[in-house]
Amino acid sequence: QLSKSQPSPERVPSPEEQEWAGPEALCPGWLEDEAPDGEVPGDSGDPDCATHAYERLQSALCQEGLPPTLDCSAEPRTGFGPLDMTVCILGSPIPFLPVLLEGGTRCPGAMVLCLSPTWASRVPSETSPGAWSLLLSRGVSFKVGGHSALETFVPPRRANYVTGTFAPGDPEGGWVGELARDLDCPTGGSVPLAHRLEDTLVTRWVLAARANLPVPPTLAFVLGARGDLPAEPVAPGVRLVRLEDPQGQQSLVQDEVGAFLGGAAMEPYGQVGTGGVGGLGGTG
């Protein structure tokens, strides 16, 4: 069911409607704060950079030839119950834009983008003891034809599925991971999982030792103990060498590199040339 604030398919939105929502719509009340020490209000009133993320969304929509997001936040959406589908995307809109657009076409209004931790809250789950429910008070929803709208939800809308930008290096990864932690609904990832997937050594060891899948020949030097790996990992194609003091173990490194490059596992890569092999061994 569409709210009154949404344009009908037959009516073309006016230029005023098509203006993107400004900072006041993204973080209500932020312009009312006094700017201390000469700072602009946005520096203290919009700490989670919702405005910047919203501008990136508008730029991405423009590049795809899609209409800008309508600001429908003045008229809250109501009537959402526990059986209504809400797929929540947390954080940066760019990686998930194709998902949001396709989801908006197949399930209009069900895809909701959350650009700020102030747009959501965590409450104890009523169905799963020890877990949490994620409630959305604000979000950008997507409809057919790439149309999107900034909306507020009263009462807050419960998320049925949650994913987002969990990458450790992403500036939004902190609050995204916190909001998605220990939820009572399925999630598309987590910060610990993102850490593991970005660790090439762990990924190859899991694929080789646990899934019995072939991996590229790998020689890895590790400083000290690695709690996320067994003391003696047995993984075909993966050779792990633990170093206590790399400054005093140059000969060990050179011997390991030489044996690795001269081993049977590297025979298919022999066309690289012996010059490169000698150089690599010398830099160990």
- Kindly state whether residues 178 and 228 are assigned to the same domain: no
Based on the fold, state whether residues 107 and 51 are members of the same structural domain.
yes
Closest to 236 measured CA to CA, from 214, 267, 259, 268? 214
Which of residues 161, 189, 217 is at a domain's end?
189
CA 168 distance to own-chain centroid: 9
Helix H, strand E, coil C: the string for the chain is: CCCCCCCCCCCCCCHHHHCCCCHHHHCCCHHHCCCHHHCCHHHHHCCCCHHHHHHHHHHHHHHCCCCCCEECCCCCECCCCCCCCCEEEECCCCCCHHHHHHHHHHCCCCEEEECCHHHEEEEECCCCCCCEEEEEEEEEEECHHHCEEEEEEEEEEECCEEEECCCCCCCCHHHHHHHCCCECCCECCCHHHHHHHHCHHHHHHHHHHHCCCCCCCEEEEEECCCCCCCCCCCCCCEEEEEECCHHHCHHHHHHHHHHHHCCHHHHHHHHHCHHHHHHHHHHC
Determine the structural domain holding residue 159 and report its residue range: 47-189
The Cβ of residue 15 has, within 10 Å, a number of other Cβ atoms equal to 6
Does residue 284 lie in a domain region? Answer: no
Domain membership of residue 162 (yes or no) is yes
Distance in angstroms between the alpha carbons of the first and the last residue of the chain: 65
According to DSSP, the β-strands at 148-158 and 132-142 are antiparallel
Residue 22 lies in a domain: no
d(CA 228, CA 198): 13
* Domain membership flag for residue 3: no
139 within domain boundaries: yes
Domain C-terminal end among 137, 159, 189? 189
Q: With respect to residue 42, please indicate whether it lies within any of the assigned structural domains.
A: no
pLDDT in tens, the chain (284 residues): 333 344 444 343 443 444 444 444 454 443 333 333 333 223 334 445 788 889 999 999 999 999 999 999 999 999 887 778 999 999 888 889 999 999 999 999 999 999 999 999 999 999 899 999 999 999 999 999 999 999 999 999 999 999 988 865 555 557 888 898 899 999 887 777 777 767 788 888 888 887 888 888 888 888 776 666 666 657 888 888 888 776 778 888 888 888 888 888 888 776 544 433 333 333 33
Give residue 280's identity as a one-letter amino acid code.
L
Looking at the fold, whether 81 and 184 belong to one and the same domain comes out as: yes
Question: Any residues with CB less than 8 A from the CB of 258 and at least 6 apart, and which?
Answer: 281
CA distances from 241 to 36, 177, 227, 261, 268 (A): 54, 33, 15, 15, 23
- CA 276 to chain CA centroid, nearest Å: 38
Check residue 132 and give its pLDDT. Answer: 94
Q: What is the pLDDT of residues 201-241, one digit of tens each?
A: 888 888 888 788 888 888 888 877 666 666 665 788 888 88
In a domain, 68, yes or no: yes
Joined together, the tokens standing for residue 15 give: 């230029």
Q: What is the pLDDT of residue 230?
A: 63
Question: Is this model's pTM higher than 0.85 or not?
Answer: no
Considering the domain architecture, whether residues 128 and 218 belong to the same structural domain is answered as no
